[in-house]
Amino acid sequence: MAVRMRTSSKDKSEPILKWASIILAILGAVDAIYLLVLKYTQLEALCVGNRGCLTVNNSIYSEIYDIPVSTFGIAAYLAIAGILLLEARLRLARENGPLAIFGISLAGMAFSAYLTWLEFYVIHAVCPFCIASTIIITLIFILAIIRLVKQTAD
């Protein structure tokens, strides 16, 4: 028979991987929105007792061409969530979504690693919300790898 049968383990794990990624993307977007609000309000109380947030958010590395870095994070997280939600409705998203999410999360993880390095070794201040975003995008990246491997195995 030419058509390959899907295994029940894939049927069970795929929705879990997908919804875990959606939840992480929403958490990441909320975190990035929080950082954007902090950037524009400069409210020290939002730093939750850690001035590192303001120091990092006001550094020269917090913007690219006058666009706050958190804006790019919001866009990436919403793109990931959007692609995941569209996979159920569009064949193009279903076929290419895992690869697109892998690419977005790889770029996000690499950029987050660079920003984390800047925090520790150049700015000498740590923003816990930035670290949370780094952890979130790394988890999305790991889930993207798993989904991509499962897709290519079928």
Provide the domain limits for residue 140.
Answer: 29-153
Number of structural domains in the chain:
1
Question: Is 20 inside any structural domain?
Answer: no
Q: Which pLDDT score is estimated for 9?
A: 46
51: Cβ–Cβ under 8 A, 6 or more apart, which residues?
Answer: 44, 125
Domain harbouring 116, CATH code = 1.20.1440.130
Question: Is 11 inside any structural domain?
Answer: no
pLDDT 10s digits, 72-95: 999 999 999 999 999 888 888 888
pTM of the model: 0.86
Q: Which pLDDT score is estimated for 1?
A: 40
pLDDT 10s digits, 103-124: 999 999 999 999 999 999 999 9
108: Cβ–Cβ under 8 A, 6 or more apart, which residues?
Answer: 73, 76, 137, 140, 141
Question: Is 19 inside any structural domain?
Answer: no
Q: How confident is the model at residue 11 (pLDDT cuts 50, 70, 90)?
A: low
Task: Give the pairing of strands 63-64 and 67-68.
Answer: antiparallel
Question: Is 61 inside any structural domain?
Answer: yes
